[in-house]
Amino acid sequence: MNDGFAAWWADRHRATRFEVRRIPFAKLDRWDFEPGSGNLAHESGSFFTVEGLRVRNDDRRSWSQPIINQPEIGILGVLVKDVDGEPHCLMQAKMEPGNVNTLQLSPTVQATRSNFTRVHRGGTTRHLEHFAGSGRGKVLVDSLQSEQGAWFWHKHNRNMVVEATAEVPEHEDFRWLPLHRLRRLMRRPNLVNMDARTVLACMRFTPPEDAADPFTGALVRSYRARSGLHTTAEVLSWLTEARTRCDWRTRLIPLGEVSGWSRTDDEILHDEGKSFRILAVEVEAGNREVTRWSQPLLAPRGKGLAAFLTRAVDGVLHLLVQTRLEPGLRDVVELAPTLQLSAGDDPGDRPYARELLAADRGRVRFDTVMSEEGGRFYHAQTRYLVVEADPGLPPEVPEDFRWVTVRQLMDLLRHGHYVNVEARSLIACLHSLW
Amino acid sequence: MNDGFAAWWADRHRATRFEVRRIPFAKLDRWDFEPGSGNLAHESGSFFTVEGLRVRNDDRRSWSQPIINQPEIGILGVLVKDVDGEPHCLMQAKMEPGNVNTLQLSPTVQATRSNFTRVHRGGTTRHLEHFAGSGRGKVLVDSLQSEQGAWFWHKHNRNMVVEATAEVPEHEDFRWLPLHRLRRLMRRPNLVNMDARTVLACMRFTPPEDAADPFTGALVRSYRARSGLHTTAEVLSWLTEARTRCDWRTRLIPLGEVSGWSRTDDEILHDEGKSFRILAVEVEAGNREVTRWSQPLLAPRGKGLAAFLTRAVDGVLHLLVQTRLEPGLRDVVELAPTLQLSAGDDPGDRPYARELLAADRGRVRFDTVMSEEGGRFYHAQTRYLVVEADPGLPPEVPEDFRWVTVRQLMDLLRHGHYVNVEARSLIACLHSLW
């Protein structure tokens, strides 16, 4: 498709100078381990801190781990406008220190409060005026959505889609992409970043009614279906039940009190090599003006996996969601993909693991590796998978699973803290399938 | 109205033996100040703890206070059934140590997890089988709703309304009340308890279309109105904006680190006599079998106030809600009444204080003092007020206020953490006005 995207993207790569080097913690600039708590913090008190988390589960077993605490809410915003009847999204070529490939396609605005209150002492955030203040456009999506509950403490960001009502000046790092084009780009590995995916997941689409095959037909009906196997009230009640049943107690503790983890000169790591490491990097970025900074990042031990099993019920595609416990989530329990694995997790005895991972190629509808937030995570990649269930799969599901329609999930996305970030990424992937 | 309610209620009072005595902390049975933290906790680790809370606000000023931490989720459930076409609610005459008047009208089930897992070593919770497990009835309401953000840390309870699908054995402490009767009882001081009010607030009613006067007409239309001054999406976006703007950082700290408060033999109190006190009581209860226990309670310094200003817009009653910050709320900001005061707060410069507190009697539609949860709070009373705005009131409102319909609030109540407990109590009061 020769619409200039490839040329623009190559051009952005050429224009970008970005160097990321791992450094020992002692070389971090204005970041330090606080005396007493041992928390890793910036001297301004801004950005984020690496602290400890203690969890006591229902059996009163307890464990602890490092966790990123970033209480301030950022804006992830996509600006849209209609061109010749097709919605276009203003996307940004943005580099992040943790990206495996430097540049990824990002929302129009991706700004922490520190960004917009200028703790960075850098420039103001471009295009922010369309999302905040008196010049704001027409708000189409606006909700607080959670992020990785295994790595972040109670983090949520403001997911916004805004229709531009004022002139938008051109800039080389930004490009208006027709929606159909953007949806296709979802299938490229490590291109559409996590922040873009979570916002796109919340966007209300009207897919066309005509479909090339039965799967696509069932999928587009799933966006429109007024009812499904369960009512939304039933789904909410089932989630409430799971939240009530869960008796995990979670709380922040000083990083120095985390047990089973050690700190070396340049890493905080699990004594048995599990989960992730905390490390430090120095960044040099820019083309004309050079910016330099250093910061900690969380590096998972390998690729994660997030997979939806799907099946048509009365011609309407249903997705199999589970209620999943993650210690950093505000309510501990949110709706998650059918199967969600972190690096090192053994899929062995997980429900539906075989069905998903050993499926015939013909039933695999989406299979792409994409990246998690490169501003906080180092080379964090997840394999996103959508698989049609074998027609012979028994319809009964375990108590912590339910079949729901795309529309039901989209309705829940008007509110925060129902659908976890891995499931939202997968919903963005589904958007690319029609 | 001679339907036997008065006789039953008087009878329950006669049958009830309940003695509550204040005691010094040292006399608490199995409750103690933990070495190190100074937190006041039960030796089993169950029930709740009194800990410290530190808040740092947007100006980076910080303060601390004691707070009740009760992470487990309880069930507040009302069982309903249809009798001759009218919904009836199974209400309970229940005593709580903090009640000003011993007995209050309570939900069918009011059970903490400690209750139903039998940490009390007492009997099982009566009627719980209609709300949990395989014998559950038809679920009409099921959501996790917050409680007092000034006194509780991240507390929420499961609010349920369930239609009975199995036989309900009679018991002297329980009585089926027709909905119209229950609604009228809302106007009696200190009768319908907080837990009943919050559940009743979430119940979906269909008020009759005929109305005696213009106020009632506008009120019942407000339950049905498909639109209001703002769309629900606009209201949610405004709330998201308030949550994003708020940069309060809150966290639990050891009670021993709270500053500006002191502990005597029998009280934890603010050095300037503000807010509330923590005290201890010994309880002796029962008729045939006598139960004895002791526990801490939080005693506010005087009555609180919660008031809705209302006005008809195009014949549809609108309520003036505000986005209010409370340090113990999970998201800090929820929708609150037009005016919400704790004991000792000066209404002086609060928006709409004069309009509400100096209104002509003819504009005051509801004005009753009711109690907050007597299982945790000692003699905590709030004046609930609904006032019609003077027609001359300017329609513009400050940025943190919005006019919304009853239906919009009822729709938000399908989800948790949007409408605070004081506003929910007031919604239950509104239900009594048609």
Share of chain A above pLDDT 70, in %: 97
Query: CB burial class (10 A; 0-12, 13-18, 19+) of residue B265?
Result: exposed
Distance (Å) from the C-alpha of residue A118 to the closest C-alpha of chain B? 15
CA separation for the pair B360, A56 (Å, rounded): 55
**With 80 as the cut, is the pLDDT of residue B337 above it?**
yes
The predicted-structure confidence for B239-248, as pLDDT tens digits, reads as follows 999 999 998 9
Select from A142, A241, A243 the Cβ nearest to the Cβ of B236. A142
**With 90 as the cut, is the pLDDT of residue A150 above it?**
yes
The two tokens of residue B346 are 């000066």
Share of chain B above pLDDT 90, in %: 85
Mutation for testing the B interface, residue in A142, A156, A161 having most B CBs under 10 Å? A142
Residue A323 is assigned to a structural domain of this protein: yes
CA angle A224–A225–A226, rounded 5-degree value? 115
**With 70 as the cut, is the pLDDT of residue B361 above it?**
yes
Find the range with the poorest average confidence among A106-115, B63-72, B364-373: A106-115
Select from B71, B113, B240 the Cβ nearest to the Cβ of A143. B240
Cβ–Cβ gap A331/B144 under 8 Å: yes
Distance (Å) from the C-alpha of residue A240 to the closest C-alpha of chain B? 6
Cβ–Cβ gap A139/B244 under 8 Å: no
CA separation for the pair B226, A190 (Å, rounded): 44
Average pLDDT rounded to a whole number, residues A115-141 = 79
Distance (Å) from the C-alpha of residue A1 to the closest C-alpha of chain B? 37
The two tokens of residue A151 are 């790595």
Q: What is the pLDDT of residue A153?
A: 97
CA count, 13 A, side-chain hemisphere, B126: 14
Residues of B in contact with A144 (CB under 8 A): 240, 243-244, 331
Residue A241 is assigned to a structural domain of this protein: yes
Q: What is the pLDDT of residue B124?
A: 78
Residue A347 is assigned to a structural domain of this protein: yes
Select from A142, A158, A415 the Cβ nearest to the Cβ of B415. A415
Residue A60 is assigned to a structural domain of this protein: no
Residues of B in contact with A233 (CB under 8 A): 139, 142, 414
The structural domain count of chain A equals 1
Q: Are B146 and B155 in contact (CB under 8 A)?
A: yes
Q: A411: how many CB neighbours lie within 10 A of its CB?
A: 15
**pLDDT band (50, 70, 90) for residue A123:** low
Cβ–Cβ gap A247/B143 under 8 Å: no
Q: What is the pLDDT of residue B404?
A: 98
CA separation for the pair A377, A384 (Å, rounded): 17
Distance (Å) from the C-alpha of residue B126 to the closest C-alpha of chain A? 19
**With 80 as the cut, is the pLDDT of residue A67 above it?**
yes
Residue A39 is assigned to a structural domain of this protein: no
Select from A234, A252, A330 the Cβ nearest to the Cβ of B251. A252
The predicted-structure confidence for A176-213, as pLDDT tens digits, reads as follows 999 999 999 999 999 999 999 999 999 987 888 888 89
Domain that holds residue A358: 214-248+301-433
Q: Are A329 and A360 in contact (CB under 8 A)?
A: no
The predicted-structure confidence for B18-60, as pLDDT tens digits, reads as follows 999 999 999 999 999 999 999 999 999 889 999 999 999 888 8
Residues of B in contact with A113 (CB under 8 A): 247
Q: Cα separations (Å) of B1 from A343, B50, B91, B180?
A: 68, 44, 18, 12
Q: Cα separations (Å) of B120 from B23, B115, B124, B125?
A: 21, 6, 9, 11
Distance (Å) from the C-alpha of residue B354 to the closest C-alpha of chain A? 30
**With 70 as the cut, is the pLDDT of residue A92 above it?**
yes
Parallel/antiparallel/unpaired status of strands A62-69 and A152-153:
parallel
Parallel/antiparallel/unpaired status of strands B86-95 and B75-83:
antiparallel
Cβ–Cβ gap A240/B144 under 8 Å: yes
Q: Look at A204 and B409; give whichever has higher pLDDT.
A: B409
Mean residue pLDDT across chain A: 94
Residues of B near A (Cβ–Cβ under 8 Å) read 45, 60, 71-73, 75, 113, 139, 142-144, 158, 233-234, 236-237, 240-241, 243-244, 247, 249, 251-252, 330-331, 414-415
Cβ–Cβ gap A236/B139 under 8 Å: no
CA separation for the pair A80, A137 (Å, rounded): 10
**pLDDT band (50, 70, 90) for residue A288:** low
Region for A190 from its dihedrals, namely left if φ exceeds 0, alpha if ψ lies in -120 to 50, beta otherwise: left
Average pLDDT rounded to a whole number, residues A247-271 = 96
Residues of A near B (Cβ–Cβ under 8 Å) read 45, 60, 71-73, 75, 113, 139, 142-144, 158, 233-234, 236-237, 240-241, 243-244, 247, 249, 251-252, 330-331, 414-415
The closest of B402, B250, B214 to B324, measured between CA atoms, is B402
Minimal-distance CA residue of chain A relative to B157: A244
Is the reported ipTM for this assembly greater than 0.90?
yes
Cβ–Cβ gap A143/B236 under 8 Å: yes
The residues, ordered by sequence, that sit 6+ positions from A170 with a Cβ below 8 Å of its Cβ are: none
Question: At B429, which CATH number?
Answer: 3.90.79.40
Cα torsion B334, B340, B343, B344: sign = positive
The predicted-structure confidence for A338-354, as pLDDT tens digits, reads as follows 999 998 888 988 999 99
**With 90 as the cut, is the pLDDT of residue A111 above it?**
no
Which stretch of DSSP H or E encloses residue B199? Answer: helix B194-202
**pLDDT band (50, 70, 90) for residue B191:** very high
Beta partners for residue B50, in sequence order: B40, B68
Q: What is the pLDDT of residue B354?
A: 95
CA count, 13 A, side-chain hemisphere, B413: 27
Q: What is the pLDDT of residue A118?
A: 52
Residue A385 is assigned to a structural domain of this protein: yes
Select from A139, A247, A331 the Cβ nearest to the Cβ of B237. A139
The residues, ordered by sequence, that sit 6+ positions from A99 with a Cβ below 8 Å of its Cβ are: A190, A193, A371, A374, A379
| CA A131, chain centre distance (Å) | 20
**With 70 as the cut, is the pLDDT of residue B257 above it?**
yes
CA count, 13 A, side-chain hemisphere, B274: 12
Residue A371 is assigned to a structural domain of this protein: yes
List, as one string, the DSSP characters of B147-186: --TTTEES-EEEEEEEE--S-----TTEEEEEHHHHHHHT
Which stretch of DSSP H or E encloses residue A278? Answer: strand A276-285
Select from B142, B237, B249 the Cβ nearest to the Cβ of A71. B249
Residue B379 is assigned to a structural domain of this protein: yes
